[in-house]
Amino acid sequence: MSDASFDVTANKTGSAPPQDAGFPDFFALLKPRVMSLVVFTALVGLLAAPVSVHPIVGFTAILFIAIGGGASGALNMWWDADIDRIMNRTKDRPIPAGRITEGEAFGFGIALSAISVVMLGLATNLVAAGLLAFTIFFYVVIYSMWLKRWTPQNIVIGGAAGALPPMIGWAAATGGISIESLLMFALIFMWTPPHFWALALFMKSDYDEAGVPMLTSTHGRRVTRNHILVYTILLVPVSFALLFTSIGGPVYLVAAVLLNALFLRGAWRIWNRDEVAADADEYATEKTVFKHSLYYLFGLFVAILIDAVLRSNDLLGAGPLGIWGI
């Protein structure tokens, strides 16, 4: 990555001339769509915890977890500006479009990282702040700077950064780490590879042209299809393990059965066809599985939330599944 120096004051060769950035451009640096997943999973982690949190403290915690996640997104855009210019999906981002300089993005990301970690520590506790700082470090340094352009396993290991928000939310409420928060982390960690590889199958040209070693180009699309099936099978026991903790409940049980069946069926269909069939229907199956993978994660976390609400209103009994006698 010789082109990604620490000279943050100037745009790299090939940039559009800088213009005055508006407020929405800085907001776009935070990757709002990624931030929405961070907010949602962190909120579930915070609300599912067996400790009640003052609403203002809870709001502050979620806000600064979101800002910390956004800051790591800004630093990722600063580091990846050179490949963002190449990929169709990213060439309209604020830096490649010339609306924000790389120096501005770097300063913005560093400042927000520091503010978010300090404010989360003041509002909640040092464990939550430490986890947020680790998340930012992991996403920017381990994933963006090291793994992303080096190994096709980039999103497997890098997925840890996206899996940490529910642990941070849980830690913000409880002040610690537990089997429940670790399993929520594991659920997102195991979900990320099949989700992202399904995307890589139908977004092939973007990553190839940018030189990002995705599994599809380094090991071939047949191997990627195999990996999607294997990782989805491995995801199933992880998702069911949550049932046997204090946050499992009947709603989660139903959701886990239905959503795992749906995701497994999709992974099986991806595995069971070749590129000729995929080209013929313009990757319809891969696109559907990618969409279903989003429903999968959203559905399971909504189920955790519903069970938490039922439990807080004494509508669920004791026992690992939250049902009397089980």
Partner 1 sequence: MAFFRKSHEMHTRRFSRNMGLGVVLAAFVALVFGLTIAKVSQEDFAVPDTAKGVGYGESD
- Answer for which of 23, 33, 276, 279 binds partner 1 (CB under 8 A) is 23
The DSSP annotation for 96-160 comes to TTTSS-HHHHHHHHHHHHHHHHHHHHHHS-HHHHHHHHHHHHIIIIIIIIIITTT-TTHHHHHHH
Please choose, out of 50-58, 74-82, 294-302, 312-320, the segment that lies near partner 1 by the rule CB under 8 A.
50-58
Total interface residues for partner 1 by CB under 8 A: 13
**CB closer to partner 1 out of 8 and 57:** 57
Task: Tell me whether residue 26 or residue 79 sits nearer to partner 1 (CB atom).
Answer: 26
Identify which of residues 30 and 256 has a Cβ nearer to partner 1 in the complex: 30
Distance CA 217, CA 23 (A): 38
CA distance 61 to 104: 26
Please, which of residues 254-313 interact with partner 1 by CB under 8 A? none
Q: DSSP of 288-303, one letter per residue?
A: HHHHHHHHHHHHHHHH
d(CA 313, CA 319): 16
Q: What residues have CB less than 8 Å from 163, skipping those under 6 apart?
A: 184, 185, 186, 187, 188, 189, 192
54 binds partner 1 per the rule CB under 8 A: yes
Nearer to partner 1, 63 or 145 (CB): 63
Contact 129, 121 (CB under 8 A): yes
The contact mask relative to partner 1 for 119-158 (x = CB under 8 A, - = no) is: ---xx-----------------------------------
Please give the Cα distance from 96 to 20 (Å, whole number).
14
Pick from 41, 60, 72, 144 the residue near partner 1 by CB under 8 A: 60
Report the site for partner 1 in 61-100 (rule: CB under 8 A): 63
Taking CB under 8 A as the criterion, the residue among 14, 16, 22, 295 binding partner 1 is 22
To partner 1, the closest distance from the beta carbon of 62 in angstroms equals: 12
Segment near partner 1 (CB under 8 A), from 41-49, 53-61, 155-163, 232-240?
53-61
Q: Is 151 exposed, middle or buried (0-12, 13-18, 19+ CB in 10 A)?
A: middle
Least separation, in Å, of the C-beta of 59 and partner 1?
8
Backbone angles phi, psi at 11, to 5 degrees: -75, 150
Between residues 26 and 78, which has the closer beta carbon with respect to partner 1? 26
- CA 31 – CA 185 distance, rounded (Å): 21
Our CB check for partner 1 shows the closer of 115 and 182 to be: 115
Closest distance to partner 1 from the beta carbon of 117 (Å): 15
- Give the x-and-dash track for 24-43 against partner 1 (CB under 8 A): --x-----------------
Binding residues for partner 1, rule: CB under 8 A, are 20-23, 26, 54-57, 60, 63, 122-123
